[in-house]
Amino acid sequence: MIFFPSLTRKIILFGFGKLECMGKQGWNKVEIDLEKMHQLSAAGESWPKIAKRFGVSEQTIYRRFHPHKALEHVKVATERQRTNKRNLVEYKGGKCCICGYNQCDSALDFHHLRDKVFNISRIRSRSLNNLKKEADKTILVCRNCHAEIHSGLHDEFISNLLSKMV
């Protein structure tokens, strides 16, 4: 049987009769009878008990009962990510430290100079203080200059920055 995670995710979110999804043990096939799940809920069974009965996570059951909330959550998380990036870009000076580009936040990257703890581009669930601590280890560069850094075209600039940091 071929497994398509994105298709299965859509089935989990929007549901079509019976459902195969990830079980608690990993990507095992777990078939959930959605009608039975709704009957158990209507009978007063709690989500944790329903999840245990079907061998899936509570989150899977919650998503099945509230498919509209999943899309709402994605929108909220995306907006939080944009706000955090805007704050970090302002914190780092608002422009590329090599060429001065400042037109679009999406075209600005954080290039780590030392001991990366996490990738700043994955900033959905971190506090702004933790993000600023990580941003202190980076320089703000545009996408073009970032590619040039990784190609070795700005080695002298980077080594000057590193010598000032020590």
Residue 30, pLDDT above cutoff 80 = no
Return the domain boundaries, the chain. Answer: 5-65, 87-165
Q: Which helix (H) or strand (E) holds 37?
A: helix 34-42
Q: How many Å apart are CA 51 and CA 59, to the nearest integer?
A: 9
Task: Give residue-wise pLDDT tens across range 89-128.
Answer: 999 999 999 999 999 999 999 998 877 777 776 666 667 8
Class of domain 5-65: mainly alpha
Residue 16, pLDDT above cutoff 90 = no
Mean pLDDT, range 13-26, rounded to an integer: 49
User: Which residue would you say has higher pLDDT here, 26 or 151?
Assistant: 151
